[in-house]
Amino acid sequence: MKVILLNGSPHKNGCTNRALEEAAKTLEENGIDTEIIHIGGGDIRGCTACGGCAKTHKCVFDDAVNEVLPKFEEADGMIIGSPVYYASPNGTMLSFLDRLFYASSGFDKTMKVGAAVVSARRGGNTATFDALNKYFTISEMPIAASRYWNQVHGSCAEDVEKDEEGLQTMRMLGRNMAFLIKSIALGKEKYGLPEKEPQKLFTNFIR
């Protein structure tokens, strides 16, 4: 069992990474393999809605999106980590996620477990948290929760060390996510995945 953790911060070893490290450490302690992937330092362009991925199941722009796609397919869970920029995820991460989730239509994400982690100096955390979680809820991916919203505060990794509640929240997230992944695996073995309707319906509201 494996979880990939995406670091959307341009600072590879900053606040976001420190939060992800705490969650990853706890997942490992609970028998889940992890890999932290740094996304935020790359030159990631936005989706152009060309539709090419529907045919090839990969993005026409060959960058980190296509590198992560097979890891996403194999993973049992994903944690998205982003700093807060103007009360929202940073632009690089949003561009990456738009393209990753669009191009991942070639495989079933049902019951892969998702979680979002955000970091900020002060505010904008919950708005960012909500935006990231929407990638999971549109993809039939259950969301792992903690005892507080998954956020840490600080201007550098050393500041996050002082955020004891934030780090505890990351550890609780790791434990809960590991339990959920293991429980879903048992459920799949005994009951299988939920039944799919044969055709996906699209309803437009312009007549």
Q: State pLDDT tens for residues 155-168.
A: 999 999 999 999 99
Going by C-beta distance under 8 Å and a sequence separation of 6 or more, which residues neighbour residue 134? none
CB of 137 closer than 8 Å to CB of 108: no
- Per-position DSSP letters for 142-171, written without gaps between them: PBP--SS-SEEE-SSHHHHHH-HHHHHHHH
> Model pTM?
0.95
Q: State pLDDT tens for residues 8-51.
A: 999 999 999 999 999 999 999 999 999 999 999 999 999 999 99
- Per domain, the residue ranges of the chain are 2-191
Confidence of residue 207 (pLDDT cuts 50, 70, 90): low
Instruction: Give the pLDDT score at 132.
Output: 98
- Cβ neighbourhood burial of 31 (10 Å; 0-12, 13-18, 19+): exposed
Q: State pLDDT tens for residues 42-58.
A: 999 999 999 999 999 99
Cα 60 to its chain centre, rounded Å, is 22
Identify the CATH number of the domain defined by range 2-191: 3.40.50.360
Instruction: Give the pLDDT score at 198.
Output: 87
Q: What angle in degrees, to the nearest 10, is found between the helix axes of 125-137 and 91-103?
A: 10
Q: State pLDDT tens for residues 80-92.
A: 999 999 999 999 9
Instruction: Give the pLDDT score at 200.
Output: 85
